[in-house]
Structure 1
Amino acid sequence: MAGEKIFRGLIWSLQKIIWFFFIPVYIVRLFYKHKSCPPIKNDLLFLTASTLAYKIRKKELKSETVVKCYIERISEVNPHLNAVVEDRFREALEEARQVENIVNSKLDEQEIEEQYPLLGVPITIKGSLAVEGLNHSTGMLLRNKIALKDADAVKRVKEAGAIVLLVSNTPELCLNWETTNKLIGTTRNPYDLRRTVGGSSGGEASLLSSGASIIGIGSDIAGSLRIPMHYCGVWGHKPSPRLISVEGHYPSCPEEEWPDVFQVGPVSRYASDLAMLFEIMVEPEMKSKLKKPIDLTKLKVYYLTEIRNILVSRVSTDTKEAVSKAVLHLESISKTSVCQEIDPKLLKFASEHSYLRLLMIDNVENLFSGKGEGAHLEFLRLLFWMSKSVFTTVGYGLLRWWSRVIPERCVKRTFKDIAVIKSKLLEFLDDQSVLVLPVFTREASPHGDVYKMLFNYGYCSIFNSLGFPSTCCPITRTSDGMPIGIQVVGAPNCDRLCLTVAKELERAFGGWVPPSADNNFLEMK
């Protein structure tokens, strides 16, 4: 208990410091109106990735036409969104032309589909994943690095025929729930350019929801495949541990436990594409571990509307409504009559448990060596605007340094508590059941506000610590048009069940809705 109190005190103090440093941000945003990104005008941008691949195989559509269309859309929206780190448009167009060689080869359509399920389809990649020849700095000014080879996940989608267009923006070292850095700046939400896209897969979420990408790859250690997708009204799946290779991601970690809490996963504009991309990305030797999805009429539904904790904000009415809508619909199609709310106390300290668990992982690549040596000096540089880094990266170093004061018994208790939570959840979560709960307490907030709600991210981070798969599903929107999503969580290796439920929720509620075309572009009052 003493260790947890120390940890909470450290986080509380950091939040107050953040309040001070972001006062200028709060002032500046007062001068901006509500604006969204340019509307989508080309109907080709509304086709799913699977439809595009089908039409390319059938010679009804050329890959070059599709790639050109997406390049034009990216060029149109990126000045407003600031989501692109570096593109490879010229190479992508050449690869799209080469697709014709496969389409016109001796292979029949079925053989092409089996060997190249994503043939000619454009894809975007989170900047923390290596794409050969492109920037791999992960938002750091101090790391001017070009990737020498593709990350494993990128290699798999390329082998499936996908054409990589670009690498998208991330926070520095992925250590932020706001996608901002000193390398290219802040990425904006297509629905309201004053608002955050979350992090750390924020560049991907922004491009997907604006119609500038159709499928992508992100990563997640505390909600990064779900929170940005929730904020931007698209789909993201955090897989069960070790199904998808994490090789080629920066930052990384040599510790054996790293792949148990950190995952690379698919993101998409449509739920059907999410499932297809997931199957392509899973390592072949791991497919046997995946459990088959069930008939949804046999589905058992459990849910949680809110985590009650003094450090966690109350869940908004819109978010509660989204959870309720999803649960009621799933209950209506199920014949099991099992629909039950779990005990809220079970996840009461989800944030504290998961944050301490992640903080205890040694040797994660970061700005500092050891347990944060040098963080205090860098913090002084930050105070005098002399640092080339950002507060969250320095803050992680400070937390790592001060984590040494946490008693060993507290660390052991944290691991024990997480094991207890997992055991209790697995008493009712099996290969026929899912848990529905919020992704976050509310819709996307204005830039900077995420730092005031650090404990709200426990809704997502706890499932990294538990090793459960989780899918972000857009359900509804607020009165001012901001998306609201929910999580569908399954037992380990029940990823296909989560994705099957996601497709059903898309059918029921429509999924992604384009940003409003009624607003003009960002401008000063």
Structure 2
Amino acid sequence: MFILQTMLLKLRVIFGMMHIIHAILCRILPFIRKKPQKIPPITDSLFTFSATALARKIRQREITCYEIVDAYIQRIKKVNPILNAVVDTRFSDAIYEAKICDEQLANGKFNVETLEKEKPLYGVPLTVKECCAVKGCSHTGCSLGYKGVKASCDAVVIKILRNAGAIPVCVTNTPEMCGGFESSNLLYGRSYNPYDTRYTPGGSSGGEGALIGAGASVIGIGSDLAGSIRIPSLYNGIFGHKPTAGIVSNIGHFPYTEDKVFQRLLSIGPMARYAEDLGLLMKVLTSTGDRNLRLDVPVDLRQLKVYYRFNMDETFGTLRVVPEIKDCIQRAVTHFTQYDIRAEELPIEWPTELVEIMLTELLNVKDLPQLLVDANNPMLKKNSVIELMKSLFGLSQHTVQTTFFATMFEMRYPFTESDVSHYTKQGKAIRQKLLDLLGEDGIFIYPTFRRPAVFPELSIYETLNTVFCGIFNTFGFPAVHVPMGLNHKGLPIGVQVIAGPYQDRLCLAVAKEMETAFGGWIPPSISINE
């Protein structure tokens, strides 16, 4: 035990020291950052409709596919110079495909019932995180080592969505090799938060989150290894769902490995401005799977068991949850009293070693994708420690956050094999307790992150605090982020809702209920002409 505590302190001491720098920068950065640039307000009521509603209007011939796709393309062109969220487009192809959809409708190729059943996203524009292959679009991992690479075919999830009628419009920015929680790289640059461009949109689905939050996309696809859908959803004021492990195909994701632990940790899932679209997308994404999630079965909210926690037990090396996030949890819990539900604080001893449990599961990935690829010689094996040192002085082909994570993974620092075994066993025990508690009718309300959006320079200091999301990748549970308004600075706030494996429908039903109660997505700039 003494050895384990020593290993624990190695990690905590490093981040404890980093938090001293973090505290100083938090006080300095607000004064030296430029005044935020406002994104253009939304002036067309078309952007107030969900993808579900737009698909219905298309089927009923109330609006054309061309009108919708073109409107979203024009919106992207307006906001992207400010956000830098888009890395490659297929605007001409999307317009062409929209016109074909309209011609098919005019010629009577499909009736309303067929479209609703077989092509429920017919004519609806879709945006996609760059790491998910869209044929003909950039597929580089946003790494200089893969500059110019285009996807030769669609990822499995994109094929499924296209078959359902969706029209991909563009692909969006990520950290290099999805290795970070701030969407910045040396190939495409940094993305910015639509609510305040001084802040990061998060990562690794940060470009996707920013575009959707800005009202320039109605639905999108992200991926989540340790909060990479949910954290950007928090920062950008939208809904984002991490599905139960293994129910959505990861084939076509980059980086990719057949490693079973990696496959379990990584989940591709939907991001959207409106809660009902998560359900529609999940039905489509799981339509070819072999697991029935009963997504069409209504959820009786009165039969739910509701648990909550305001924070993780504060330990050296982690930062505390801010009051406004705790208030979100309290408001969510209080809301369920109208259903005669008495929410209960999680009756499980929540270990202080959650960070170690999460990190050791990542270290259980034996066949790790190569993160540091040389732009001049892709076959060259780079020394991660040297690249980390070089990146600190701007001398590397890689970002600090990617070299930092590559170093941790390759050195397995600060854990020994016995540490990994100990924390893996501890994680399995906690997971089983949660399984027994939640069952098929329980939800857990918990912070998505400890605070609203952060300055991009501070993201790496917040690394350990991603445990609020990452621990549920470790456990394989479904989790959805739910927006709950804006704070006094105009930044989005909200919580995540977790359920037991294969109970995704509980997450989605609660997200819809909380959207009705708390307003859901709020446009960054409101000026809608009815």
* TM-score, scaled to structure 1: 0.93
Q: Does residue 125 of the first structure (1) align with residue 131 of the second (2)?
A: no
Contact map agreement 2:18 2:461 (CA 8 A) in 1: no
1:24 to 1:107, Cα distance in 2 relative to 1, 3 A: closer
Give the whole-Å Cα distance in 1 for the aligned partners of 2:392 and 2:407.
Answer: 14
Q: Does residue 113 of the first structure (1) align with residue 122 of the second (2)?
A: no
Within a 5 Å distance, the mapping from 1:467-486 to structure 2 comes to: 467-486=476-495
Which residue is equivalent to 2:356? 352
Q: Does residue 457 of the first structure (1) align with residue 466 of the second (2)?
A: yes
1:307 to 1:14, Cα distance in 2 relative to 1, 3 A: closer
Which residue is equivalent to 2:58? 56
2:350 is paired with a residue of what secondary structure? helix
1:426 is paired with a residue of what secondary structure? helix
Which residue is equivalent to 1:277? 281
Q: Return 5+ residue gaps in structure 1 as ranges.
A: 519-525
Match of 1:506 among 499, 510, 515: 515
Contact map agreement 1:140 1:182 (CA 8 A) in 2: yes
Q: Does residue 315 of the first structure (1) align with residue 315 of the second (2)?
A: no
Give the whole-Å Cα distance in 1 for the aligned partners of 2:28 and 2:364.
Answer: 33
Partner amino acid for 1:302? Y
CA shift at 1:357, angstroms? 1.0
Match of 1:304 among 309, 325, 331: 309
CA shift at 1:431, angstroms? 1.3
Q: Does residue 328 of the first structure (1) align with residue 331 of the second (2)?
A: no
- Deviating more after overlay: 312-321 vs 267-276: 312-321
CA shift at 1:477, angstroms? 1.8
CA shift at 1:289, angstroms? 5.0
Q: Does residue 101 of the first structure (1) align with residue 103 of the second (2)?
A: yes
CA deviation vs aligned residue, 1:21-52 (integer Å, no higher than 9, x gap): 99799769714114432211111111110111
CA shift at 1:287, angstroms? 3.6
1:60 to 1:294, Cα distance in 2 relative to 1, 3 A: closer
Q: Does residue 224 of the first structure (1) align with residue 248 of the second (2)?
A: no
Match of 1:267 among 267, 271, 274: 271
CA deviation vs aligned residue, 1:423-468 (integer Å, no higher than 9, x gap): 1112210111100011011111222122222221111000000010
Contact map agreement 2:126 2:219 (CA 8 A) in 1: yes
Which residue is equivalent to 2:91? 89
- Deviating more after overlay: 351-360 vs 489-498: 351-360
Which residue is equivalent to 2:387? 378
Contact map agreement 1:234 1:512 (CA 8 A) in 2: yes
Q: Return 5+ residue gaps in structure 2 as ranges.
A: 374-378
1:303 to 1:153, Cα distance in 2 relative to 1, 3 A: same
Partner amino acid for 1:141? L
Give the whole-Å Cα distance in 2 for the aligned partners of 1:324 and 1:438.
Answer: 11
CA shift at 1:394, angstroms? 1.1
Contact map agreement 2:234 2:492 (CA 8 A) in 1: yes
Contact map agreement 1:235 1:268 (CA 8 A) in 2: yes
Give the whole-Å Cα distance in 1 for the aligned partners of 2:113 and 2:425.
Answer: 50
Give the whole-Å Cα distance in 2 for the aligned partners of 1:451 and 1:26.
Answer: 17
Which residue is equivalent to 1:522? none
Which residue is equivalent to 2:376? none
Give the whole-Å Cα distance in 1 for the aligned partners of 2:98 and 2:116.
Answer: 16
CA shift at 1:110, angstroms? 0.7
1:346 is paired with a residue of what secondary structure? coil
2:162 is paired with a residue of what secondary structure? helix
Match of 2:434 among 425, 429, 432: 425
Partner amino acid for 1:135? S
1:98 to 1:18, Cα distance in 2 relative to 1, 3 A: farther
Q: How many residues align?
A: 515
Partner amino acid for 2:145? L
Match of 1:245 among 239, 242, 249: 249
1:500 to 1:172, Cα distance in 2 relative to 1, 3 A: same
1:84 to 1:260, Cα distance in 2 relative to 1, 3 A: same
1:286 is paired with a residue of what secondary structure? coil
Which residue is equivalent to 1:9? 10
1:209 to 1:383, Cα distance in 2 relative to 1, 3 A: closer
CA shift at 1:326, angstroms? 0.8
1:27 to 1:476, Cα distance in 2 relative to 1, 3 A: closer
CA shift at 1:382, angstroms? 2.5
Partner amino acid for 2:74? E
Contact map agreement 1:195 1:444 (CA 8 A) in 2: yes
Which residue is equivalent to 1:409? 418
Contact map agreement 1:306 1:344 (CA 8 A) in 2: no
Give the fraction of aligned pairs with identical amino acids, expressed as a percent: 35
Partner amino acid for 2:56? Y
